[in-house]
Structure 1
Amino acid sequence: MLDPPMFRGIVSVAKLQLHRLQLATKFPTFLRRLFTAAGIGLLIGGGAYASTVDEATFCGWLFSATKLVNPFFALLDPEAAHRLAVTAAARGWVPVEKRPDPAILEIEVWGRRFSNPVGLAAGFDKNAEAVEGLLGLGFGFVEVGSVTPVPQEGNPKPRIFRLSNEGAIINRCGFNSEGIVAVAKRLGAQHGKRKLETSSSTSLSGDGVVQGGKAGPGILGVNLGKNKSSEDAASDYVQGVHTLSQYADYLVINISSPNTPGLRQLQGRKQLKDLVKKVQAARDEMQWAEDGPPPLIVKIAPDLSKQDLEDIAAVALALRVDGLIISNTTIQRPEAVKGNPVAEETGGLSGKPLLSLSTDILKDMYILTKGKIPLIGCGGISSGEDAYKKIRAGATLVQLYTGFAYGGPALIPTIKAELAECLEKDGFKSIYEAVGADCR
């Protein structure tokens, strides 16, 4: 039958959206009751039907059913919709992926085994409220944050703007965060729960590869940021490492958000070199179990000159940075969005218009680093074909954000299936074989 928490969650969301529709359209009472009864009847009937079929079919039905809810989120203010989506994932009101990933999508990176290369980018679950629910959706990995040492509200609202026709979003949130103490408590509680369920939250296979992550199935990344008022960026990142790295399968130094003054200046050659050295030292001085310290990743912007990219690549190679995320949002406004009045809003642009720009930067960085550093492709992915383009351009892993905001949970299995199809169509037997194919 339909999972009770999910059922209650869907009904709660439906009631909330119906209330908004009542205010907006002033439906007659009998029509409101008719729609409510019909909606609940469909849910109950669907649940009864689903109980008669196999688990895989039931799971597919649940993911498809989320498409019915997506239009209601579009009626909400963007930040309210985001808040509701995080709450739904945190409370288990979302489907759980029970079907195994296509074998061709499995990949090993940093000595950790990913069941698939499709992850959720930082910015969605800023405060690690919904890690278990989000991993349960079928992502190969989930990245929380950005997390700042001290809680901060971020920039004034409104600060998130939809460009629906273009499949894009502009945000100027400014690292709104509950701070590392709140995030550490949540991740610590989750870590403790996992240790009770299993003898260890991570285990090593015979070939020395970590099975699962510190959050259980799936890999957990923690994205670190600096406070707006901080004058010592390095100390902010070091504090994040000391407090949160024990719960992370990998750590991210985010120096690429356009919404924190001065942050992108840390991408300069000298500044980046000094920063990475301090953060690496902080990580390496800590005590680690047999699975070792978490890899250290740097997230860069798409708005970089050729010289900037060369400098970053040189630093990454010299200091043996474990990976790069390419890229964050852009302050540019591509032709695809210039006709939209919302495009005049200040902030970083994400979504479909970013795909070409971020993929070109990804390809450049793959060439500059000679394929020696794992790259995570992020920016504009809304289909399996988009993810495949990133991989062929040099990405080992990929991340979604805006595509997920518009497409909802149903997009995840679709992207994985399409990606597997793209690989098989071109004769690749694994992700490894396809990485950087367009650069060779």
Structure 2
Amino acid sequence: MNLYRCLAWPLIRQMDAEQAHRLTLTLLKTGWLPPAPQDDPVLATALFGKRIPNPVGLAAGFDKNAEVPDAMLRLGFGFVEVGGVTPRPQPGNPRPRIFRLEEDRAVINRMGFNNAGLEAMAARLGRRRSDRRSDRPGGMPGGLLGVNLGANKDSADRPGDYALSYDRLAGLVDFAVVNVSSPNTPGLRNLQGREELAALLARLQPLHERHGTPLLVKIAPDLADEDIDEIAQAALAYRLDGIVATNTTITRPGGLRSDHTGESGGLSGAPLFERSTAVLRRLHRQVGGKMTLIGVGGIASGADAYAKIRAGANAVQLYSALVYEGPGLIARIKRELAALLKQDGFRSVAGAVGADAA
């Protein structure tokens, strides 16, 4: 029985989505949820040369200010991405700005990189690093921590925003993701263009070489095939460590049933699954084996996660499905994924990566 669906969801669905999210973060800070059981060994894998207990990660947007990364790792995620963070604090777009499409198992958001800013995040992550160093062995959860980097809405130098944040946070995280694909900051997606992306990556390259902290770029699902190919080649040319595919979509696939379908913003959840997986499969053909691919978009089951992995993902991330299924979803996805890997004769996650990408 899914206690979240039976007990919590009827109450949560009556609340404003952003208010419910704030309440969730408050509860997570109390440590009231029990730690996850040990993962099946078949799920163990590696990202950027570091071992993680499973390939299921938390996508950016859930923990914008790095308030509960270790709580989410304790819940069973193999890695967690906090942010997006911008150099200066910003309030984001006017409310309401999150809409549940319950009938479609989807969410539309137009948050606009609301966050407390770079220095607030750096302070939290610095305290976390000190706590981990002083904690007794085994006292802190395993898994990796990444940060999603954004640009201020009114910035006159957006490449400079990314460079500043990466330089400040590189020593506090296991990887960083350059988010040039959020649809909620006007003009941001233009940074995915050939010349704009090259200029941005050239700005970041010396910092990347100096720090060595893995650097990835997160792309939109709405790109044409030739644009995806150009981004893949740019990622290789500037020696990025990976690509996150994909962010939310500004399109509205046919068949959506919710009353909120007409709201502006990025659509995530189940309707995004097919397109985001197609982007991932194309990327694998371009860069598979040369860099890490993280699959995001519409994952709500072990079968969904497995499909992303077989399409080329070294690991996967989710967020929207948690809204509808609660924290028990994490264990269910891992259990189903382990069963599917074994059923098909794979002894590890790595063995299944790209099995269907040809």
Deviates more, 1:187-196 or 1:166-175: 187-196
Matched, 1:359 2:277: yes
Q: Map of 1:33-432 to 2, 5 A cutoff?
A: 65-67=3-5, 68-97=7-36, 99-198=37-136, 216-286=141-211, 293-337=212-256, 339-432=257-350
**In structure 1, distance between residues paired with 2:321 and 2:67:** 21
**In structure 2, distance between residues paired with 1:140 and 1:120:** 8
Amino acid at match of 2:160: S
Amino acid at match of 2:255: A
Give the secondary structure class of the aligned counterpart of 1:251. strand
Amino acid at match of 1:78: A
Give the secondary structure class of the aligned counterpart of 2:99. strand
Check conservation: 1:366, 1:394, Cα contact below 8 A. Answer: yes
Task: Tell me by how many angstroms 1:70 deviates.
Answer: 3.0
After superposition, the C-alpha distances for 1:185-230 in whole angstroms (9 at most, x for unaligned) are 111111111111148x9xxxxxxxxxx9xx7511100111000000
Task: Tell me by how many angstroms 1:105 deviates.
Answer: 0.5
Give the secondary structure class of the aligned counterpart of 1:361. helix
Task: Tell me by how many angstroms 1:311 deviates.
Answer: 0.7
After superposition, the C-alpha distances for 1:130-185 in whole angstroms (9 at most, x for unaligned) are 11111110000010000000000000000000100110000000000100111111
Give the secondary structure class of the aligned counterpart of 2:57. strand
**In structure 2, distance between residues paired with 1:273 and 1:71:** 48
Amino acid at match of 2:15: L
Which runs of 5 or more structure 1 residues have no equivalent in the other structure? Answer: 1-60, 202-211, 287-292
Root-mean-square deviation (CA, aligned residues, Å) is: 1.7
Amino acid at match of 2:312: G
Give the secondary structure class of the aligned counterpart of 1:169. strand
Q: Structure 1 length as normaliser, TM-score?
A: 0.79
**In structure 2, distance between residues paired with 1:198 and 1:295:** 27
Amino acid at match of 1:139: F
**In structure 2, distance between residues paired with 1:119 and 1:138:** 9
Check conservation: 2:84, 2:147, Cα contact below 8 A. Answer: yes
Task: Tell me by how many angstroms 1:95 deviates.
Answer: 2.6
Task: Tell me by how many angstroms 1:74 deviates.
Answer: 1.3
Q: Structure 2 length as normaliser, TM-score?
A: 0.96
Larger Rg: 1
Matched, 1:439 2:357: yes
Question: Which structure has more helix as a fraction of its residues?
Answer: 1
Task: Tell me by how many angstroms 1:65 deviates.
Answer: 4.4
Task: Tell me by how many angstroms 1:389 deviates.
Answer: 0.5
Task: Tell me by how many angstroms 1:285 deviates.
Answer: 3.0
Runs of 4+ in 1 over 3 A off after TM superposition: 64-67
Which runs of 5 or more structure 2 residues have no equivalent in the other structure? Answer: none
Identity of aligned residues (%): 50
Give the secondary structure class of the aligned counterpart of 2:94. coil
Task: Tell me by how many angstroms 1:370 deviates.
Answer: 4.2
After superposition, the C-alpha distances for 1:415-436 in whole angstroms (9 at most, x for unaligned) are 0000011111111111111101
**In structure 2, distance between residues paired with 1:126 and 1:336:** 31
Give the secondary structure class of the aligned counterpart of 1:325. strand
**In structure 2, distance between residues paired with 1:74 and 1:166:** 14
Counterpart position of 1:9: none
